[in-house]
Amino acid sequence: MTQSEIEGGVRLSVLDTAPIVEGSSARQALHNTVDLARLADTLGYHRYWVPEHHSMRGVASAAPAVLVGRLAEATRSIRVGSGGVLLPNHSPLIVAEQFGTLEALYPGRIDLGLGRALGGPPRVASVMGRTGQGHRDFAEQLRELLAYFDEPEPEPGTVTAVPAVGNRPQPWILGTGTASAELAGAFGFPYAAAHHLNADCIEVLKRYRETFQPSASTPTPRAIVSVSVIVADSDSRAEWLAGSTRLKILSRLKGSRIRLPSPEHAAQVHYTAEERATIDLHTRGLIAGGPQAVCQMLDVLIKQFSPDEILVTTPVFDPVDRCRSYELLAESLPLLGTV
């Protein structure tokens, strides 16, 4: 059992959006991500994923293939990958070349998580050239992508993703609904359910397991659940740190896109009863507390969803507090299943 593996075989991993917090910059956010990846590697976390987001002023992770390469270089053993590449935004050939190159350079450590969302506001679609891909079925794009990792037919003029041939990373499907779950099941892929975006994903996972068809790489269903987790030395400090993401979520719901504010700033805001009810509703999947409280909540989640792995994202303002949260979580693993 690895250091990041919970009793019963459930592993802990990291999902990092490279958040650009209030008063910071994309450059600093990306350096923070590299630092956190190094820490996660030493702490024994199993994998480290970065997403694809566009035109989102509080997120620096826009080019996962580039960032994955930097993270793989900066770490030794942790798996690194995309959480995920939004395939309709790209040519399958280019994605195959990028991730085939990564797998060739860092064999056995690269994950290719795939999704079909836009990854940004609607106006991004035309700028990305997505409108030209809109008529294509996601499953069709997946089949084309996967074919590039196989040996090409010896025919003149065959289009080949040269670095991808024989260098296939581990594919994953990511999603929040039953359509993505059924697609992962049909392809025999492992599936990552975005609990941090949709806390009511139990039916999604059920559908994935019901529709799963065994494949050569994945003979049985494998499921990740991504969860927002904030751990601090005390319950009260964790709740104080969580004030940042609660304020940001409320601001987004009101139509104002802000960067993650400091907890000091958030603590000065006075909410109405209606606003507090809205925050509670939209952050009900957030797990925040001291080590013992967090372990209790994770135990409940594991019993409810039966994941093979928990992908932890930690939306806090200060990178020192973020690193401390992952340290405390790793140190608390012996408590899981006993509290």
* 3-class secondary structure per residue, 119-175: CCCCCHHHHHCHHHCCCCCHHHHHHHHHHCCCCCCCCCCCCCCHHHCCCCCEEEEEE
Percentage of the chain lying above the pLDDT 70 cut: 94
H helix or E strand, kind and range, residue 48: strand 47-50
Cα dist. 274→280, 281, 286, 288 in Å? Answer: 10, 11, 19, 22
- pLDDT computed for residue 117 by the predictor: 84
Residue 289 lies in a domain: yes
Structure tokens at 288: 């925040």
Contact in structure between 95 and 133 (CB atoms under 8 Å): no
Residue 87 belongs to a domain with what CATH number?
Answer: 3.20.20.30
Smallest Cα–Cα separation from 120: which of 198, 194, 29, 56?
Answer: 56
Buried b (16+ CB within 10 A) or exposed e, 157-166: eeeebebbbe
**55/170 same-domain check:** yes
Residue 62 has pLDDT above 60, yes or no: yes
**Is 18 found in the same domain as 147?**
yes
State residue 309's pLDDT score.
95
Burial class of 264 by CB neighbour count within 10 A (0 to 12, 13 to 18, 19+):
exposed
Please name the residue that has the structure tokens 């004030």. Answer: 243
pLDDT digits (tens, 9 = 90+) for 111-169: 999 998 878 777 887 787 664 454 468 999 999 999 999 987 767 788 999 999 999 99
Predicted TM-score (pTM) above 0.75: yes
Claim to verify: residue 146 and residue 295 sit in the same structural domain: no
- Per the CB < 8 A criterion, the answer to whether 101 and 160 are in contact is no
Check whether 338 has a pLDDT greater than 50.
Answer: no
Residue 181 maps to a domain: no
Residue 6 pLDDT > 70:
no
How many whole angstroms from its chain centre is CA 27? 20
Mean local confidence (pLDDT), 1-24: 81
Query: Is 101 in the same domain as 250?
Result: no
Please state, in angstroms and rounded to a whole number, the distance separating the CA atoms of residues 7 and 114.
29
Same domain, 143 and 38: yes
| 151 and 293 share one domain | no
The kind and range of the H/E element at 111 are strand 110-115
Last residue of a domain, one of 141, 175, 209: 175
221 in a structural domain: no
- Please give the residue range of the domain that contains residue 255: 229-307+318-339
Say yes or no: 104 and 6 in one domain: yes
State percent of the chain over pLDDT 90.
Answer: 85
Question: Is pLDDT at 1 greater than 80 in this prediction?
Answer: no
Residue 154: the pLDDT is 67
Angle between helices 235-253 and 273-282 (to 10 degrees): 100
Query: Domain boundary at 175, 199, 214, which?
Result: 175
Report the C-alpha gap between 43 and 49 in whole angstroms: 16
Report the pLDDT value the prediction gives residue 126, as an integer from 0 to 100. 77
Q: For the chain, how many structural domains are there in total?
A: 2
Q: How confident is the model at residue 339 (pLDDT cuts 50, 70, 90)?
A: very low
Residues 16 and 123 in one domain: yes
DSSP output for 257-272: --PPPPHHHHHT----
pLDDT in tens, 220-263: 999 999 999 999 999 999 999 999 999 999 999 999 989 999 99
Mark which of 137, 155, 175 sits at the end of a domain. Answer: 175
Q: Are strands 287-289 and 191-193 parallel, antiparallel or unpaired?
A: unpaired
Please indicate, yes or no, whether residues 244 and 168 belong to a single structural domain of this protein. no
The reported pLDDT for the residue numbered 119 is: 81
- Residue 181 predicted with pLDDT over 70: yes
Residues 238 and 107 in one domain: no
Mean pLDDT, residues 311-324: 98
Q: Are residues 241 and 159 in the same domain?
A: no
- If one compares 103 and 128, the residue with the highest pLDDT of the two is 103
Same structural domain for residues 4 and 135?
yes
The rounded mean pLDDT for the chain is 92
* Residue that wins the pLDDT comparison between 218 and 133: 218
- Name the token pair of 312: 């932890």
